[in-house]
Amino acid sequence: MGCCCGPASRRVILKIQGMSCEHCKRSVEAALKGLDGVEKVAVDVGGGEAVVDYYPARLTVEELKKAVVEAGYEVSSVVQ
């Protein structure tokens, strides 16, 4: 949704390796949600991915990937 006067958010799916439990899910979620410009995060441990709605005007996909890597996981690919 978002505000009618603001820039639109964009959705990407990060394919993440190394997640195995609820703790992993929370770590990745917290890492992504902590970034300025991230609107919404949904992590699927079983599917090994995170669906992220973010504002391209405020941060890049590279920064999303970096946050996941810094949390201790690997991003194998990004679906835009």
* Chain residues in the site for Cu ion (CB under 5 A): 20-21, 23-24
Least distance in Å: CB of 24 to Cu ion? 3
Residue owning tokens 């990407």: 12
Tokens of 65: 């990937």
Nearer to Cu ion, 20 or 60 (CB): 20
DSSP H helical ranges for 1-80: 22-33, 61-70
Least distance in Å: CB of 77 to Cu ion? 21
Least distance in Å: CB of 15 to Cu ion? 17
Nearer to Cu ion, 24 or 71 (CB): 24
Q: Are 50 and 32 in contact (CB under 8 A)?
A: yes
